[in-house]
Structure 1
Amino acid sequence: MAKFLTCITLSGGRKLNFILDKGKRRNAVLAINEGRLTVRVPERFDPAQIRTFIEQHIEWIDLNLEKSAKHSGLPVTFEDGEEIRLLGQKAIITAVPSDRYFKPRFEDGKLLIAVCGSVDHEYMVRQIQTYIVELANREITESMQRLTALMGLFPKKITVKDLSASWGRCSSNGTISINYKVAAYSKAHIDYVCIHELAHLVHMDHSADFWKLVERYCPDWKKIRGSMRSDNDEE
Structure 2
Amino acid sequence: MSLRRLLLKPSPSIERDTVLVQLPDQQLEVQRVRDPRAKRIKLSVDERGARLTLPLRASLVSGDRFLHEHRQWLALQLDKYAGDDNAAVLARNVTSELPLRGATLPLAWHEGRYSRLTRDEHGLHFHLPGRASDATLQRTLREFYEAEARADIGRWLPRYLPGLPRGPARLRLKVMSSQWGSLSPDGSLALDLALVLGRPSAFEYVLVHELCHLIHANHSPRFWHEVEARFPEWRDEREYFHAHGRGLKASLRALLATPSR
Normalising by structure 2, what TM-score? 0.56
Give the corresponding residue for 2:216. Answer: 203
Give the corresponding residue for 1:140. Answer: 153
Deviation, 1:85, is 1.8
Q: Could you report, residue by residue, the CA deviation over 1:56-75 in whole angstroms, capped at 9, with x for unpaired residues?
A: xxxx9874312xx4xxxxxx
Matched-pair contact (CA < 8 Å) for 1:143–1:190: no
Determine the C-alpha separation between the residues in 2 that align with 1:112 and 1:222.
36
Opposite residue 84 of structure 1, the aligned amino acid is L
Give the 3 Å change call, closer, same or farther, for CA 102–142 of structure 1 in structure 2.
Answer: same
Query: Which structure 2 residues correspond to residues 160-199 of structure 1 after superposition, within 5 A?
Result: 160-162=172-174, 163-199=176-212
Give the 3 Å change call, closer, same or farther, for CA 61–228 of structure 1 in structure 2.
Answer: closer
Matched-pair contact (CA < 8 Å) for 2:212–2:223: yes
Give the corresponding residue for 1:64. Answer: 84
Which of 102, 117, 134 pairs up with 1:88?
102
Deviation, 1:180, is 2.2
Matched-pair contact (CA < 8 Å) for 1:200–1:210: yes
Give the 3 Å change call, closer, same or farther, for CA 136–171 of structure 1 in structure 2.
Answer: same
Specify the SS of the correspondent of 1:104: strand
Give the corresponding residue for 1:122. Answer: 135
Which of 99, 105, 108 pairs up with 2:118?
105
Determine the C-alpha separation between the residues in 2 that align with 1:123 and 1:172.
35
Deviation, 1:126, is 1.9
Give the corresponding residue for 2:167. Answer: 155
Structure 2 stretches lacking a partner, 5+ long: 1-14, 20-28, 32-43, 51-79, 250-261
Name the larger-Rg structure: 2
Deviation, 1:131, is 0.8
Deviation, 1:161, is 2.5
Determine the C-alpha separation between the residues in 2 that align with 1:153 and 1:183.
27
Structure 1 stretches lacking a partner, 5+ long: 1-22, 41-59, 70-75
Determine the C-alpha separation between the residues in 1 that align with 2:196 and 2:98.
11
Give the corresponding residue for 1:217. Answer: 230
Give the corresponding residue for 1:57. Answer: none
Determine the C-alpha separation between the residues in 2 that align with 1:175 and 1:121.
32
Matched-pair contact (CA < 8 Å) for 2:115–2:129: no
Determine the C-alpha separation between the residues in 1 that align with 2:122 and 2:204.
23
Opposite residue 206 of structure 1, the aligned amino acid is H
Q: Could you report, residue by residue, the CA deviation over 1:78-135 in whole angstroms, capped at 9, with x for unpaired residues?
A: 1232543212221234322x24436311234632111333674333222111111222
Q: Could you report, residue by residue, the CA deviation over 1:121-161 in whole angstroms, capped at 9, with x for unpaired residues?
A: 33322211111122222322332233213x43423413223
Q: How many residues align?
A: 179
Percent identical residues: 20
Matched-pair contact (CA < 8 Å) for 1:155–1:176: no
Deviation, 1:196, is 0.4
What is the CA RMSD across the aligned residues, in angstroms? 3.4
Deviation, 1:227, is 0.7
